[in-house]
Structure 1
Amino acid sequence: MLLRLLRPFLHVLGRWPLVVRQRLRWARDEVEVAPGSFVARGAVLGHRVRINRPSFVDPCEIGPYTVTGAFVVRCANHHTEFLNLQEGVQRRVIGARSVLAPPTRGVRIGAACWIGDNVTILDGVQVGDGAVIGAGSVVTRSVPAYAVAVGNPARVVRSRYPDEVVDLLSSLDWWTWSDEQLRANADLFELDLTTVDPADLRRRIDRLG
């Protein structure tokens, strides 16, 4: 009986070294995660990722400069053929095998994306660089780079920019630049990419070398 009561506390104590390492990585990479969030130790958060509100994040990859509201990444699923569906009861009380099925394909969210509030992203989804996922969406299929997707299930409703501009941006991995490079090219971040002349943009990108 005493061991059963102590198990939750022992579980928390056992996680502390992992939590400390996770927080140190975030500090190094200038990652901001809202208090109250759960981020699995297998989740990889890129440079300056910002999670603005409490979220639940299964193991996944989130690219640099992506910003989110409150969102959920669920890579695991339940074995619905079992009698019980609660993992804690299954393992700790009953002593039976896990009711959780491991991820099969994983989730990757690209760089510089915006993920709105109350979004759920499911196993196997790839969100391209610069994509926008509207609030309340349930994402069951992959979303192309620089697309805007909304709804349940989420559907692509438009591209953020004209196709020719998107093609040009595919080679512009600005999220890998140093702060000095970002500041030196501040004018690039002030362009209206919905109306810019693609030829002018190409020349501007070519000058970057």
Structure 2
Amino acid sequence: MTDDAGGPAPDPRAALPPLPDVRLLGLTGAPGVGKSTVAALLGRPVVPMDGFHYADAELVRRGLLDRKGAPETFDAPGYAALLRRVRAGEDDVVAPSFERDLEQPLAGALWVPPSGLVVTEGNYLLLPQERWRAVRAQVEVVWHLRVDDDLRRERLLARHVASGKTPDEARVWVARVDDPNARLVNAQASAADLVVDLT
């Protein structure tokens, strides 16, 4: 890969802090900040919080489909329980993933090795509610990621359009669901072990 001047492109990992010597590193931040991208760059196994989305059928039952992505639309106790098994070094842990083409969780998709650093990423790792504190209790170090808000919203709009919303529907969703969630997440940044600005 080269940059615009024809030289070698900088390695984006060079802008990230050194990896901590722990079992579980958490990446949190507002929707669209780049958590999944950073997790992939780190080159370690990843357990995504998005795998613990309630499926649409359950969101309909709970009357929450129109708030999909808000804290109450996730199985936080199930997420905490799986992270507890990861941290304990169990040798047969398989985590769920999230299938963006279907906008649904996919059970039993990601094998987690019993040793070495594992990254978990999600919006709500630092929320103070008891169900989310149980998640935070399993994650030894949490980085809160930040990026320019305009760029973050552009990414979200593109993501929603790619998943089937019209541009107008995407803008409404970002304003009604994603932006309030972003404010909620960013309000907890001071509880992180490190704040990383990706702008």
Q: TM-score, normalised by structure 1?
A: 0.22
Q: TM-score, normalised by structure 2?
A: 0.23
Of structures 1 and 2, the one scoring higher in RCO (CA 8 A, sep 6+) is 2
Q: Which has the larger radius of gyration?
A: 1
